[in-house]
Amino acid sequence: MILVSSRPAFAADEEPTAQSWRSLFDGKTLGKWTAETRGDFTRAGKVEVRDGTLVVSAGQPGTCARYTGEMPRDDYELALTARRAQGEDFFCGLTFPVGERHLTLICGGWNGEVVGLSCIDDEPAAENMTCDLIAFELGRWYDIRVRVADDRVRVWLDDKQIVDFTVGDHELTIWFDKGTATPLSIATWRTTGEIKSLRVRKLNGVDE
C-alpha cells in the first residue's frame, strides 16, 4: 500500500516543454460540462457548481460530468485537484483520450483504495498491471496529473508518479458505455467527488 505525500508540487525534471495551461472549469458555472444521464448514469446524482468546485454527487450507482468542448488526443497533459467528499468508492473516474481511443483513471475504486487505468486488454483497473492501492483520506484534496505522450500514459498523484504504462499493442477500452463518457469526463460511483483546478496543455516535447 502506498501512502502519498500531501505536498502538491511536481518534480522540476519531470516538467516537459509545453504550451500554457488552458482552464476547463472557471469555478463559477458548468460551462461546457454537462450531467450525463445515459447508460450507467440514468439514476445519477446532481452535477453542479458549489463553492468554486465541480460537485459530482453520489448516484445509484454512478454520476458523470462530461466535457463537451475540444480536447487534444495526444501529446498533452491534463491536471486537476479532487477529493472524496462522501462515500467509499471512486471519487474520480477520469476518462480521457489516448489517440483515437480512451482510458479511465480510477481513483479510489473497489471499496475505496484501488488506483489504475480501465480497461487494458479488457481488464479493469483492479486487475491489470497499473493497479495500486492508496489509502485516500475523506475530505482531503489530491493533485492528479495525466500525461499522454510518446505511446505512454503516465499519472502523478501529488508529487509521486503512480502509473507508467506503455500502450504498444494493448487494447484500450473504458468501463462505461463509450457514448456516455467521451471525450473527457469525471465520474463517481455511489460517492460524491469534488473537483477544482481542471486544466489541459499541449506538449511541444517531453523531457525524460
User: How many domains are contained in the chain?
Assistant: 1
What integer best gives the mean pLDDT of the chain? 90
Grid coordinates belonging to 74:
495526444
CA dihedral of residues 72, 78, 84, 86 (deg, nearest 10): -20
Residue 2 pLDDT > 90: no
What is the average per-residue pLDDT within 52-81?
Answer: 97
* Whether 84 contacts 91, CB under 8 Å: yes
CATH number at residue 163: 2.60.120.560
Q: What is the pLDDT of residue 8?
A: 39
Q: Write out the residue range of the structural domain in which residue 164 sits.
A: 23-205
109 occurs within a structural domain: yes
Each residue of 106-121: pLDDT tens digit? 999 998 999 999 999 9
Each residue of 129-181: pLDDT tens digit? 999 999 999 999 999 999 999 999 999 999 899 999 999 999 999 877 767 89
* Whether 95 contacts 174, CB under 8 Å: yes
65: exposed, middle or buried (Cβ count in 10 Å: 0-12, 13-18, 19+):
buried
1 occurs within a structural domain: no
H/E segment holding residue 179: helix 178-181
CA dist., res. 11 & res. 32, Å (int): 31
What is this structure's pTM?
Answer: 0.89
Q: What is the pLDDT of residue 1?
A: 35
Share of the chain above pLDDT 70, in %: 89
54 occurs within a structural domain: yes
* Whether 66 contacts 30, CB under 8 Å: no
* Whether 92 contacts 82, CB under 8 Å: yes
87 occurs within a structural domain: yes
